[in-house]
Amino acid sequence: MNLIRILTSVFIGITISYLIPACKTEPQPQPQPQLLVLQKWPEITFPEIKSPESYDKYHVVGEYETIYQHVGKYKTSRYENRAHNIKTNVANLEWIPIHPGDSFSYNKTVGPRTEEFGYMTSIIIYLGEFKEEYGGGTCQVSSTIHAAALMSGMEIVQRTSHSRPSTYIKRGFDATVSYPELDLVFKNPYPASIYLHAETYEVTEDESKLRVVFYSRNVQIKKPIKKTRWISNGTEPYKKKFRKTNKWRTDHKTRIQRGKDGEKGILAVWYTDGRKERFVSQYRPVNEIWEVGLAWDMDQVPWEPTCQDKLWKCRKICQDKHEMPSEIWQSCYDHCGGDFLICQNER
């Protein structure tokens, strides 16, 4: 009996020695406190914006459209490259949120307009003259954004007018940019988020439209602009500039850039809440540039406009206003004889 008791005690002891470690729980590491990061504006996400079903949740605060050519008359790369740059630019401007009190910077959003970023060479205006440069055409995007921002009641912080009026937009609505020096910056003054969206679409075989829209989910934000008006403060005449070239040894001359008078004015904006703001624009005169032969006397008095110049003026008046003042008719007739009928036929 004693032996049985001894063996039983030994068996129980061994069993307990195995069970006790198994029942012990290892101390678990205490969880570290996690910092909860809240979204500053959690009311909406980008996927929700981009889904077509959610478009009806937004209404238009303000918008603006401009036209550009994507195919030239002679199928040159000038228009195609410019259209490519505009589309490359617009690809960076899809549903950009501008939250209350925040600012939008064109240069920070779009980035450099260089070959590395997919831009091509096209015509730009530099110091009042036309030249080839990468990113030509992007100023039409910045101008259209600026115009839409004005129509949406954004607070304009930084904006520079072009050195010469643009053909694609009204005076006072344009905004030139150059990375990183010249920027377009505006601020959202509303208590709700505003969303900037840009897009392009074809309207004819050779023309497209660039459309910039400011959206909001806050139905209390209505279209804030009542009317706008351009007030001119006078013009400054352009000057002629001559460049000698070894193309000709005679006194031959050829105009390579048409001159344009400068103008300074104010864009007055009336808001629906009774406010009125004024935005100053100054367009410097654009020199008329001529290339002249080696025999040209640089000291001689500038010549009178040629017959070709006068006919061009007649055609422009006919195309733009469908009318021709009698003095222009007489001027064409006196200098060019019956060639003034060209203008008459174009009416």
Burial pattern 313-323, b for ≥16 Cβ within 10 A else e, equals bbbebbeeeee
127: its two tokens: 């110091």
| Predicted confidence (pLDDT) per residue in 288-326, tens digit | 888 888 887 766 645 544 454 555 555 555 544 444 454
d(CA 155, CA 150): 8
| Predicted confidence (pLDDT) per residue in 180-193, tens digit | 999 999 999 999 99
Q: Is the dihedral of CA 222, 203, 104, 109 positive or negative?
A: positive
pLDDT band at 333 (very low <50, low <70, confident <90, very high): very low
Burial pattern 12-37, b for ≥16 Cβ within 10 A else e, equals eeeeeeeeeeeeeeeeeeeeeeeeee
d(CA 163, CA 281): 10
Q: What percent of the chain has pLDDT over 70?
A: 66
Q: What is the pLDDT of residue 255?
A: 87
| Predicted confidence (pLDDT) per residue in 4-25, tens digit | 565 566 555 555 555 555 444 4
Question: Which carries the bigger pLDDT value, residue 239 or residue 78?
Answer: 239
What is the average pLDDT across 169-175? 95
Q: What is the pLDDT of residue 249?
A: 74
Domain ranges (residues) in the chain: 46-222, 224-300, 304-347
d(CA 304, CA 93): 48
pLDDT band at 179 (very low <50, low <70, confident <90, very high): very high
10: its two tokens: 């030994």
Q: What is the CATH number of domain 224-300?
A: 2.20.230
Q: At what angle do helices 326-336 and 307-321 cross, to 10 degrees?
A: 150
Residue with tokens 């910056």, as numbered in its chain? 185
d(CA 214, CA 163): 27
- Measured between alpha carbons, how far is residue 232 from residues 143, 172, 270, 279 in Å? 19, 10, 17, 12
pLDDT at 334 over 50: no
What is the average pLDDT across 206-226? 92
